[in-house]
Structure 1
Amino acid sequence: MNKPKVCIMLSTFNGAKYIDEQMESLLAQSKVDVQIIIRDDGSSDETVQKLSEYTKSRPDQIRVIEGKNFGVIGSFFELMRQTEPVYDFYAFCDQDDVWKPDKLSRAVSKLELSQSNVPLMYCSSTQMVDQDLNNLNVWPIFPPKPLSMYNAMVENCCVGCTMVMNPVAFQQVRSNIPSDLTQVIMHDWWIYLYVSAFGEVIFDEEPMILYRQHQNNVLGGSSEGWIVKWKNRSSRFVNGENHFILSKQAKMFLQLHKDQLSAQQQKDVQRFLNHMGSSWIKRIRYASKMPFYRQASLDNLVLKLIYVLKKV
């Protein structure tokens, strides 16, 4: 029996310090046939030199694309463009983690249990670790509420480096990449939104990667306490860093996929956007009963508050 062919899409940027550990864990994946496509996002350290050693030893398995600096969102979407739709499954990968040997085979087995003619995506919890791979905590926890479009419009529950897509999800997202990436919060959030709207998201609460936390992380889970977390969130809000990001992404999503959404989905997203311009009384009424939700009760209350404040 042939092993499933899985394409791993890895974006690198000045990742020389940890790239060897990551690459060795990818090459050690069990029960799958792994192909690795790497896009370097304009590194100035030894990342490309290290990767060239891997391509020399495994030219049929590893391909490296040296690109201009697009940033994390642009780099991953460019990876999708550069990846041929010829594999059984497609996985995203960061440069500084370590994957457990059965990460991909476990994802594949769970995806194969669902119908294959709709967009499917697997994601999992992660075992957060420090720079030396000592365990911190598990994040994110299993979501208590459904992983639907009504969650994905206002919250991302899926960590990009745990994502594995079936061919339908990969090809549909790949053929509809937004033209203006400034309207996209993150590539993984956008894909979670797409698959939750038109297919099925499978969440595995078993951590399948060691998710390294260090000062160079672009974005990552939080190993800090809730007081620090909310202090940081409040600071970002006051500074205006997160203003309007949800509504901008929702507008772009509706613009691109309106014809695919059900009548009810269309109506709900349109109301979410339209009520932003209503009077504060109408915004309060709408926010109190909006169909969109975050997983945690406190996060959900904050969502309603920032909606009323017209900062969503």
Structure 2
Amino acid sequence: MNKPKVCIMLSTYNGVKYIDEQMESLLAQHEVDVQINIRDDGSSEGTVQKLSEYAESHPDQIRFIEGKNLGVIGSFFELMRQTEPVYDYYAFCDQDDVWKPEKLIRAITKLQLRQSNVPLMYCSSTQMVDQDLNNLDVWPTLPPKPLSMYNAMVENCCVGCTMVLNPITFEQIRGSIPSDLKQVIMHDRWIYLYVSTFGEVIFDEKPMILYRQHQENVLGGSSEGWLIKWKSRLKRLLSEGSFRLSIQASCFLETYKDQLSAQQQRDIRRFLNQLESSWIKRIRYASKMPFYRHTSLDNLVLKLIYILKKV
């Protein structure tokens, strides 16, 4: 029986410090044939040389692209553009994590239990670790509410480096990448939004990667106390950057309006249009809006920032 062929898309930027551990964990994946497509996003230290050496020593498994700096969103979407749609599954990867050997085959096994003719995406919890791979917390935990468009429009609960996509998901997203990526909050949020709207998201609460936390992390979870988390969360949501929820929602509606159901279109348009109404109408809408976050406190914050027109 042939092994599933999986393309891993890895974007790097000044990541030489941990790249060996990551690459070895990718090459050691059990029961799958792995192709690793790597795009460096304009590193200025030894990452390019290190990855060139890997590509030279594994010419049949590794394709290395030395690119100009596009930022994390642009780099991952460019990887999708440059990856041929010829694989059984597709996975995203960050440069400083370590994958458990059974990560991909566990994801594939779960995906194979679902219908193959609809968009599917697997994601999982992560085992957060420190720089030396000592265990911290497990994050995120299993979401308590459905993984639907009505959550994905206002929250992301799927970590990009845990995602595994079936071919339909990959090909449809690859064929409709927004022209202005400034309207996209993050590549993994866009993909979660797409799959939760048109297909099914499978969340695995068993951590399949060691998710390294360190000062160089651009994005990711945190093991901070709840008070510090809440202060940083409120600061983030009430800053200028928080206005991007509505921008991404508008971009999503424009990109997929022909595929969205009539009800989905109405709900997204109302979410956008009510922002321009009076504050009394915004309060009324926010109190019963169909969009939700997974925890009660996060849901209250969502309603607050909507009323303040900061989504």
Structure-1 separation of matches of 2:242 and 2:207:
32
- Residue equivalent to 1:145: 145
Task: Give, in whole Å, the separation in 2 of the partners of 1:151 and 1:217.
Answer: 25
Aligned to 2:168: 168
Question: Whole-Å Cα distance in 2 between the matches of residues 223 and 304 of structure 1?
Answer: 26
In 2, Cα distance between the equivalents of 1:215 and 1:64? Answer: 26
Q: Distance in 1 between matches of 2:284 and 2:144?
A: 25
Per the alignment, residue 111 of structure 1 pairs with 111
Question: Match of 2:253, as an amino acid?
Answer: L
| Partner deviation per Cα, 1:40-68 (whole Å, 9 max, x = no partner) | 00001111111111111110100100000
Correspondence for 2:305 = 306
Residue 289 (structure 1) aligned with residue 282 (structure 2): no
What is the distance in 1 between the residues matched to 2:145 and 2:201?
12
Letter of the structure 2 residue corresponding to residue 165 of structure 1: L
Aligned length: 311
Specify the alignment match of 1:42 in structure 2: 42
Q: Distance in 2 between matches of 1:25 and 1:10?
A: 13
- CA–CA distance in structure 2, aligned partners of residues 116 and 274 of structure 1: 36
2:182 matches 1:182: yes
Pairing 1:263–2:280 present = no
Cα shift at 1:233:
2.0
Task: Give me the whole-angstrom Cα distance separating, in 1, the residues matched to 2:42 and 2:274.
Answer: 42
- Answer yes or no: is the 8 Å Cα contact 2:121–2:166 preserved in 1: yes
Secondary structure at 1:73 match in 2: helix
Which aligned pairs between 1:194-233 and structure 2 lie closer than 5 A? Answer: 194-233=194-233
Q: Does 1:191 align with 2:191?
A: yes
Segment drifting more, 225-234 vs 197-206: 225-234
Write the deviation string for residues 221-260 of structure 1: whole angstroms up to 9, x where unpaired: 111111001111233345x243311000000000110110
Q: Which amino acid aligns with 1:195?
A: V
Name the residue aligned to 1:122: 122
Equivalent residue of 1:203, what SS?
strand
The separation in 2 between residues aligned to 1:294 and 1:18, in whole angstroms, is 34
Residues 66-97 of structure 1 show CA distances to partners (whole Å, capped at 9, x for unaligned) of 00000000000000000000000000000000
Partner of 1:251: 250
Stretch deviating more after TM superposition (272-281 or 229-238): 229-238
Listed as ranges, the gaps of 5+ residues in structure 1 are none
Structure 2 counterpart of 1:30: 30
Query: 1:218 offset after TM fit, Å?
Result: 1.1
- Contact 2:127/2:207 (8 A) holds in 1: yes
AA aligned opposite 2:274: H
Q: Deviations over 1:5-54 (max 9, x none)?
A: 00000000000000000000000000000000000000011111111111
Name 2:83's counterpart in structure 1.
83
Contact kept, 8 Å, 2:237 with 2:305, in 1: the verdict is no
Amino acid at match of 1:309: L
Instruction: Tell whether the 8 Å contact from 2:81 to 2:174 is kept in structure 1 after alignment.
Output: yes
TM-score, structure 1 as length reference: 0.99
What percent identity do the matched residue pairs reach? 81
Question: What's the CA shift string for 1:151-178, capped at 9, x where partnerless?
Answer: 0000001000000000000000000001
Equivalent-residue separation in structure 2 for 1:264 and 1:252 (angstroms): 17
Partner of 1:74: 74
Q: TM-score, normalised by structure 2?
A: 0.99
| 1:86 alignment partner AA | V
* CA deviation vs aligned residue, 1:174-198 (integer Å, no higher than 9, x gap): 0000111111000000000001000
Unpaired stretches in structure 2, ≥5 consecutive residues: none
For residues 40 and 310 of structure 1, the distance between their equivalents in structure 2, rounded to whole angstroms, comes to 37
Amino acid at match of 1:295: H
Which secondary structure state, in structure 1, belongs to the residue aligned with residue 90 of structure 2?
strand
SS at match of 1:154: coil
Aligned to 1:234: 234
What SS does structure 2 have at the residue aligned with 1:303?
Answer: helix
Distance 1:295 1:190 in 2: 18
Aligned equivalent of 1:20: 20
